[in-house]
């Protein structure tokens, strides 16, 4: 009988085994830039939580995200991820950060802020309901936009603080506001997730007084300059600076969050992120003289870069996104659209940090462009640049003052210059804004993705990728399949959908492209 009962207990135990789908390497890498030597350990620990500790996949991913956000806390307390947390914390002490991606932040469970009174009355004061229906908003190129992005925009337009919205033709699903989403809210509110994790991600174009023949004559010099003067991704730090005056701004002393990140920011000044970030040489064809671009028609050698505020912006975004979700309680589908009030201390802290990230991101690009110009012994004839992950205080057409969030969208006010890139094989465009009120003075920030990074790795081959590069006459240094040209929409179709938003002044055609190496992935940085 004892044997029979023991067997019965074993049978019951098997029935209770967690039947959750195993956590994959793609799931782990979606949290952030997990170093390759820790991939196996992360998978073992995460799936151990699911299979032996009876965690749900969501709970396990949440614990891993919390550990990455605060490895010191988990390294010095007895818990299920102590040893792994010590490995991450030891890396942090060596100056190698593993910041949470936007996806990783999305896995963090909402927790009450330590200084918020945990009373029913206080919780009720912080809780908000959505409108019964969304405000009307314009959609450009609707037929090109996935359903998930449309749903997210509808939720954003249903916030009680929303005033107006628009969706650009390159839009695709993100966290909170979709990539390619534009949202105007009450002027005293700001939504960290509607700005994005890579705060002040931006484009920068330098045009040189050198003909196309220079590129054909000196491709090795141009490629060498990219290899020597650019740094990407994890460990992407620079020793020599061209101009580090941005680090003297008084805002670096404004808050503890900013002060703690200053040294990292200084080390990374003049470097680029991973994901879709790049620095590339190409040719720009100026169609006709424009008083704002101020370049004679013709074809020139040009340098184009795409990057943001690096670890500084990412850490600021992670901290204040979580804080906003603690302070502003919203229904589950809108949780990542939580806002901070600019009349509060934390709202002002984020506003200062976001604007500092904007100055820093611009200085980042200037470092890159100045170093590459020096390598050529040239000075640019013109430079065009713009943010596309930011929030601005602006006025709508009816005069109302609002906070305009552009998450993956280019400012396109009347006569405002901007750059809309394509992909590593597709052209980009220098544009002048038309000040379209329906788009809230905005345009797309690129071609927009057709498939996710995971889909790209699962469906594309390197032979397909190499064939596309050969056919387009592109030299590529670094990069990986998740940025292959086939993962992007057709840039011409995207541009056609926004002819009422921008005028095209020039076309940039890439030729020598530098991106992060495949083993330096940090997750999505749109």
Residues assigned a catalytic role? 445
User: Is residue 109 a known part of a binding site?
Assistant: no
> Cα separation of 20 and 26, whole Å?
16
Backbone φ and ψ of 203, nearest 5° = -110, 150
Instruction: At 311, list the tokens.
Output: 């670890």
Instruction: Please name which of 357, 355, 510 lies closest in space to residue 429, comparing C-alpha atoms.
Output: 510
User: Is residue 278 a known part of a binding site?
Assistant: yes
Q: Which long-range contacts (CB under 8 A, 24 or more apart) does 263-268 make?
A: 264/95, 264/97, 264/311, 264/312, 264/315, 265/310, 265/311, 265/312, 265/360, 267/95, 267/237, 267/238, 268/236, 268/237, 268/238, 268/310, 268/311, 268/312, 268/364
Give the strand pairing for 189-190 and 340-341: antiparallel
- For residues 297 and 288, the answer to whether their CB atoms sit within 8 Å is yes
User: Is residue 314 a known part of a binding site?
Assistant: no
User: Is residue 235 a known part of a binding site?
Assistant: no
User: Is residue 279 a known part of a binding site?
Assistant: yes
User: Is residue 277 a known part of a binding site?
Assistant: yes
Contacts of 400 (CB under 8 A, 6+ apart): 163
User: Is residue 292 a known part of a binding site?
Assistant: no
Contacts of 218 (CB under 8 A, 6+ apart): none
Task: Catalogue the E-assigned strands of 48-191.
Answer: 138-139, 162-172, 179-186, 189-190
> Cα separation of 373 and 251, whole Å?
29
User: Is residue 424 a known part of a binding site?
Assistant: yes
Distances from the Cα of 253 to the Cα of 47, 353, 464, angstroms: 42, 10, 50
Instruction: At 130, list the tokens.
Output: 């959505």
User: Is residue 422 a known part of a binding site?
Assistant: yes
User: Is residue 405 a known part of a binding site?
Assistant: no
User: Is residue 389 a known part of a binding site?
Assistant: yes
User: Is residue 369 a known part of a binding site?
Assistant: no
In the DSSP assignment, the letter for residue 247 is G
User: Is residue 198 a known part of a binding site?
Assistant: yes
User: Is residue 421 a known part of a binding site?
Assistant: yes
User: Is residue 483 a known part of a binding site?
Assistant: no
Q: What dihedral angle (degrees, nearest 10) is formed by the CA atoms of 385, 389, 393, 398?
A: 90
Instruction: Please name which of 337, 52, 340, 307 lies closest in space to residue 202, comparing C-alpha atoms.
Output: 307
> Residue by residue, what is the 3-state secondary structure of 141-181?
CHHHCCHHHHHHHHHHCCCCCEEEEEEEEEEECCCCCCEEE
Coil, helix or strand for 88? helix
List residues forming the annotated binding site. 198, 276-280, 306, 388-389, 421-424, 445-448
The binding site for GMP comprises: 276-280, 388-389, 421-424, 445-448
Binding-site residues for Mn(2+), please? 198, 277, 306, 388
């Amino acid at each position: 009988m004892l044997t029979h009962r023991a067997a019965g207990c074993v049978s019951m135990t098997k029935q209770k085994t967690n039947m959750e789908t195993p956590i994959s390497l793609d799931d782990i890498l979606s949290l952030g830039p997990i170093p390759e030597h820790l991939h196996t350990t992360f998978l073992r620990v995460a799936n151990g939580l699911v299979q032996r500790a009876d965690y749900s996949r969501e709970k396990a991913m949440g614990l891993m995200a919390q550990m990455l956000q605060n490895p010191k806390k988990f390294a010095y307390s007895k818990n299920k991820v102590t040893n792994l947390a010590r490995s991450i914390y030891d890396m942090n002490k060596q100056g190698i950060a593993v910041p949470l991606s936007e996806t990783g932040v999305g896995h963090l469970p909402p927790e009450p802020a330590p200084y918020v009174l945990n009373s029913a009355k206080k919780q009720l004061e912080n809780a908000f309901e959505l409108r019964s229906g969304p405000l009307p908003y314009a959609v450009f190129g609707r037929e090109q936009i996935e359903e998930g992005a449309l749903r997210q925009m509808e939720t954003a337009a249903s916030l009680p603080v929303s005033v107006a919205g628009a969706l650009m033709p390159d839009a695709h699903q993100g966290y909170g506001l979709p990539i390619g989403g534009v949202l105007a809210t009450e002027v005293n509110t700001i939504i960290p997730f509607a700005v994005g994790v890579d705060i002040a991600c931006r484009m920068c174009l330098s045009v040189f007084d050198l003909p196309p023949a220079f590129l054909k004559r000196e491709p090795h010099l141009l490629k060498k300059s990219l290899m020597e003067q650019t740094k990407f991704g994890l460990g992407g730090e620079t020793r020599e600076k061209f101009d580090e005056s941005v680090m003297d701004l008084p805002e670096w002393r404004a808050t503890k969050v900013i002060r703690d990140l200053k040294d990292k920011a200084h080390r990374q000044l003049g470097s680029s992120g991973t994901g879709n970030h790049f620095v590339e040489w190409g040719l720009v064809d100026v169609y006709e003289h424009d008083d704002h671009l101020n370049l004679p028609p013709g074809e020139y050698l040009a340098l184009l870069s795409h990057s943001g505020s690096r670890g500084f912006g990412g850490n600021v975004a992670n901290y204040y996104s979580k804080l906003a979700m603690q302070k502003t309680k919203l229904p589950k589908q809108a949780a990542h659209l939580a806002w901070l009030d600019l009349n509060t201390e934390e709202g002002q802290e984020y506003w200062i940090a976001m604007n500092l990230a904007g100055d820093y991101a611009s200085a980042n690009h200037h470092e890159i462009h100045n170093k590459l110009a020096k390598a050529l012994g040239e000075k640019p004839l013109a430079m065009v640049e713009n943010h596309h992950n930011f929030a601005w205080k602006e006025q709508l057409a009816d005069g109302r003052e609002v906070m305009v969030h552009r998450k993956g969208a280019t400012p396109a006010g009347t006569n405002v210059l901007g750059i809309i890139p394509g992909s590593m094989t597709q052209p980009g465009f220098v544009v002048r804004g038309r000040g379209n009120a329906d788009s809230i003075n905005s345009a797309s920030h690129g071609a927009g993705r057709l498939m996710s990074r995971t889909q790209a790795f699962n469906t594309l081959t390197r032979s397909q990728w190499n064939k596309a590069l050969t056919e387009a006459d592109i030299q590529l240094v670094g990069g990986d399949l998740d940025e292959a040209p086939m993962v992007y929409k057709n840039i011409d179709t995207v541009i056609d959908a926004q002819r009422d938003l921008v005028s095209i002044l020039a076309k940039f055609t890439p030729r020598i492209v530098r991106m992060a190496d495949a083993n330096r992935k940090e997750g999505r940085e749109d």
